[in-house]
Amino acid sequence: MLTTCPERLAFSYLRPGSVDEALAMWAGQARPAFLAGGTDVLPRARREGGIGALIDLKRIPELDRIEQGGDGGLAIGAACTVHRVAVHPLVRERYPVLSACLSQLGSFPIRNRATLAGNICNASPCADGAPALLALEAVLELRAAGGAQRTLSIGDFFRGPGETALRPGELLCRILLPAGSAGARGSYQRLARRRAVDISSVAVLVARLAAGERRHRICLSSVAPTPLRAVEAERVLDAEEPDSVERAAELAMAACAPIDDLRGSAAYRRRMVGALLGRAVDELRSSRQTGVPV
């Protein structure tokens, strides 16, 4: 049955001042959820209900920082908005590929509210925050009540649509960008019906590290249950042979598992993985950075 009125959400709102307090609140509430930017959780709560308490992370000072890590990398707190990350001088200078991808996430008002941590915790197959973090081999710092803490590679984080490796009550606190990935350049190609603020039907990031043996990173989204890397295709690009791009495209197309939906057929999507990979390599070679199609 369809009705005109939005359901009331009827949740309580809590605002902890520290991570420990946030974790304790979680433990004490029925059907709790962490609230970062709210751009996904609020519409979902309105659609589906099922949330008893929202625990707002935005006033926790330790989550609201972007700072240099001990190893020379960068640590991004879970409450940092996408826009803040995208325009941060250190991100722009050292991780321009992240900046380029994030500037294509949602709209300006959404980027002012949504957080990078929230974007990946939603674990949408089409998350625009995921490809760059996969390419940079980001490490996630997770904490749980009682002082438990662990780190997880971004590659081990996504488990399925809407599913992550987070345990109940566990909080993603910081996203760590390794020093070794600094200087990576990339081209992020996304296909959608509209040129902005549209969920992609296919997105391909080709990134190239500043140095090292295994320099290429190929990350795909919207073409599998989770965002993923096409590692075999990366190795082919590393080889830099005349037919590398074609072969990498073939391997990337083989690595994905798209579905038919409103945004495109599986066959088209798979083929577009190859096409966008080629377009990304072309753009990367022509040294443009923006990743804006056509």
Partner 1 sequence: MSGQGYDWVGQDVERVDAVDKVTGAARYTADLKFPRLLHAAVVRSSLPHARLLHVDLGPALSVPGVKAAVCGRDVPFHVGIYLKDQTVFACDRVRYVGDPVAAVAAESPEAAAEAASRIAIDYEPLEPVFDVERGLEPDAPRVHPELGRYECVPWITPEPGTNVCNHLKVRKGDFDAALKRCAHVIENRFAVPQVQHVPLEPHVSVARVDLAGRVEIHTSAQSPFTVRHLLCACFGFKHADVRVIVPHVGGGFGGKAGINLEPIATALALRCDGRPVRVAVDRSEEFYAVVVRQGLQASLTSGVDENGRVIAQKMRYVWDCGAYGGYGVNVVRAAGYTCGGAYAFDHVQGDSIGVYTNRPIGSAYRGFGMQEIHWALESQMDAVAREIGMDPVEFRLRNCLGPGKATVTGQVLDESAGDVATCIRKVACGIGLDVDRTDPSGGGPIRRGRGMACAVKAPAMPNDAASSVILKFCEDATLELSLSGVDIGQGLRTVAAQYAAQALKLPIESVRVHNLPDTHLSPYDWQTVASRQTWATGNAVLRAAEDCKRQLLETAASALGRPADALELDAGCVRDPDSGRSVPLDRLVMGYLFEDGHAVGGPVAACAHFVPEGLLFLDPETSQSKKPVAKWTFGAQGVEISVDTRTGEIRVDRVVACYDVGKVVHPSLIRGQTFGGIVQGLGTGLMEELVLDRTSGRIANATLADYKIPSSLDAPRMEAGFLETPQADGPLGARGVGEHTMIPTPAAIANALVDACGVRVHSMPLTAEKVLAALDAREAGREGGHRGS
Partner 2 sequence: MTTQTGEQISIRVTVNGRVETAELRADRSLLEWLREDLDLTGAKLGCNEGECGACVVLLDGRPVNSCLVLAAEADGREVLTIEGLGRAGALHPLQQAFVDRAAVQCGFCTPGMILCALGLLGENPDPSPDEIRRALAGNLCRCTGYQQIVEAVLDGAGRMREGART
Compute the least distance from the CB of residue 116 to partner 2, in Å. Answer: 16
Member of 88, 143, 270, 279 binding partner 1 (CB under 8 A): 279
From residue 128, alpha-carbon distances to 11, 125, 190, 250 in Å are: 29, 9, 9, 23
The single-letter DSSP state of residue 198 is S
Q: Which does 64 bind (CB under 5 to 8 A by kind): partner 1, partner 2, none?
A: none
**Length of the chain counted residue by residue:** 294
Compute the least distance from the CB of residue 3 to partner 1, in Å. Answer: 4
Please say which residue, 11 or 95, places its beta carbon nearer to partner 2: 11
Query: Which secondary-structure segment (H or E) carries 43?
Result: helix 41-48
Report the SS3 class of residue 199: coil
Compute the least distance from the CB of residue 68 to partner 1, in Å. Answer: 35
For residue 53, count other CB atoms closer than 10 A to its CB.
18
Binding segment toward partner 1, per CB under 8 A, in 4-12, 158-166, 237-245, 250-258: 4-12
186, 97 in Cβ contact below 8 A? Answer: yes
Q: Which does 286 bind (CB under 5 to 8 A by kind): partner 2, partner 1, none?
A: none
Report the SS3 class of residue 62: helix
The single-letter DSSP state of residue 38 is -
Q: Rounded to the nearest 5°, which phi and psi values hold at 202? A: -150, 140
Q: Which of residues 194-233 bind partner 1 (CB under 8 A)?
A: 194-199
Q: Which does 13 bind (CB under 5 to 8 A by kind): partner 1, partner 2, none?
A: partner 2
| Closest residue by Cα to residue 130 from 166, 108, 97, 107 | 97
Two structure tokens written together for 150:
């662990």
Residue 243, classified by CB atoms within 10 Å of its CB into exposed (0-12), middle (13-18) or buried (19+), is exposed
Please say which residue, 13 or 70, places its beta carbon nearer to partner 2: 13
Compute the least distance from the CB of residue 143 to partner 1, in Å. Answer: 32
Binding segment toward partner 1, per CB under 8 A, in 170-178, 225-233, 235-243, 266-274: 266-274
142, 173 in Cβ contact below 8 A? Answer: yes
Two structure tokens written together for 189:
């190609």
Compute the least distance from the CB of residue 38 to partner 2, in Å. Answer: 6
**β-sheet with 139-143: strand ranges across:** 66-68, 74-77, 171-177, 139-143, 149-153
- Residues in contact with partner 2 by CB under 8 A are 6, 8-17, 21, 25, 29, 35, 38-39, 42-43, 46, 53-54, 56, 58-59, 83, 87, 103, 106-110, 112-113, 195-197
Please say which residue, 16 or 37, places its beta carbon nearer to partner 1: 37
Compute the least distance from the CB of residue 126 to partner 2, in Å. Answer: 15
Question: Does residue 183 touch partner 1 according to CB under 8 A?
Answer: no
Please say which residue, 74 or 86, places its beta carbon nearer to partner 2: 86
Question: Does residue 264 touch partner 1 according to CB under 8 A?
Answer: yes
Compute the least distance from the CB of residue 197 to partner 2, in Å. Answer: 5
234, 253 in Cβ contact below 8 A? Answer: no
Q: Which residues bind partner 1 (CB under 8 A)?
A: 1-8, 191-199, 262, 264-265, 268, 271-272, 275-276, 278-279, 293-294
